Amino acid sequence: MADQDISCRDCGASFTFTEGEQEFYNSKGLSAPQRCKACRAARKSQNGGGGQRQMHDAVCAQCGAECQVPFKPRPESEGGKPVLCKACFQASRA
**Secondary structure E strands in 8-49:** 14-17
Contacts of 6 (CB under 8 A, 6+ apart): 14, 15, 16, 17, 32, 33, 34
Q: How confident is the model at residue 48, as a pLDDT? A: 64
Question: pLDDT (tens digit, 9 = 90+) per residue, 9-33?
Answer: 999 999 999 999 999 999 999 999 9
Question: pLDDT (tens digit, 9 = 90+) per residue, 44-91?
Answer: 887 765 667 789 999 999 999 999 998 899 988 888 889 999 999 999
Total-model pTM = 0.49
Q: How confident is the model at residue 50, as a pLDDT? A: 60
The domain ranges of the chain are: 4-46, 56-93
